[in-house]
Amino acid sequence: MKILVPVKRVVDYNVKPRVKADGTGVDLANVKMSMNPFDEIAVEEAIRLKEKGVATEVVAVSIGVAKAQETLRTALAMGADRAILIQTDDEVEPLGVAKLLAKVQEEEQAGLIILGKQAIDDDSNQTGQMLAALLNLPQGTFASKVEVEGDKVSVTREVDGGLGTVKLSTPAIVTTDLRLNEPRYASLPNIMKAKSKPLATKTPADFGVDIAPRLETVSVAEPAKRSAGVKVADVDELVAKLKSMGVAA
């Protein structure tokens, strides 16, 4: 089985994003970028399935600027076999990403597509579901456990009040949640090996996909600062304040 793993280059999760002065977006100048954490979990899961003998090849794919090659090289250093970069300087919305990934899947014919449930920059949580709809494939979202048995994939996911399990026929799409696994660190030898692994570069035009934006960003602003807390003298005063706020009866 071949596994396709889409990955996205985003602002590193340890960095506090800065909004541009004109409010048109997030300032990316001189900001550390890295692989989307949910996608990193997806890469780790694909590699573990290969190590178990379930998968024969792991292919990482990314859509973005030329520097997204660094993100793909990270995936290759973790253990992916080869990578594909669909290079564009334009911002690609989830629907455009899903359409491009659908074209890649038509070429690769992967048995399993594993991707992060959402990206931490736009938090859309749409690409996996849109991709499943475009390809008419079964999907298991927010996976906390993935098991492959023959041509079936069992996906355990957290639901209200417990866990739910869905069984999918391959090919299928799985989106990863935080508790699925703990991604490995790439060793120095593997980082060096990644430099020689194949990385193909294509463009949206090669797939005949229109990535023109359908959404318009009106403005971007930082969240409002939280107001300072208030100290109370005793429980009675606390209860009185909660009642005045409508929190307690």
The structural domain count of the chain equals 1
CA distance 98 to 158: 24
Q: Distance between CA atoms of 201 and 215, rounded to whole angstroms?
A: 27
CATH number at residue 15: 3.40.50.620
CB atoms under 10 Å from CB of 244, counted, come to: 9
Structural domain range at position 117: 2-244
Would you state the pLDDT for residue 247? 66
Name the percent of the chain lying above pLDDT 90.
67
- Between 67 and 28, the higher pLDDT residue: 67
Span 35-71, pLDDT tens digits: 999 999 999 999 999 999 999 999 999 999 999 999 9
pLDDT band at 156 (very low <50, low <70, confident <90, very high): very high
- The pLDDT, as a whole number, for residue 248 is 52
pTM for the whole thing?
A: 0.85
Residue 167's pLDDT is 95
Q: Residue 200 domain-assigned? A: yes
Residue 94 in this model has a pLDDT that exceeds 60: yes
- The pLDDT, as a whole number, for residue 225 is 82
> Binning pLDDT at 50, 70 and 90, where does residue 18 land?
confident
Instruction: Using only the alpha carbons of the chain, give its radius of gyration.
Output: 21
What is the pLDDT, as a whole number, of residue 101? 96
| Helices 94-108, 127-135: inter-axial angle, 10-degree rounding | 50
| 10 beta partners | 34
Indicate if the pLDDT at residue 112 is higher than 60. yes
Diameter over CA atoms, the chain: 69
Mean pLDDT on 11-21:
87
Q: Is residue 249 part of a domain?
A: no
pLDDT given at position 240:
87
**Model pLDDT for residues 187-227, shown as the tens digit of each residue:** 899 999 999 999 999 999 999 999 988 888 888 888 888 88
- Specify whether the CB–CB gap between 200 and 84 falls below 8 A: yes
Q: Is residue 139 part of a domain?
A: yes
| 3-class SS of residue 149 | strand
Is the pLDDT higher at 113 or at 179? Answer: 113
Taking CA atoms, 142 is separated from 47, 58, 139, 187, 224, in Å, by 18, 20, 10, 28, 29
pLDDT at 209: 92
Give CA–CA dist 45/49, Å, rounded.
6
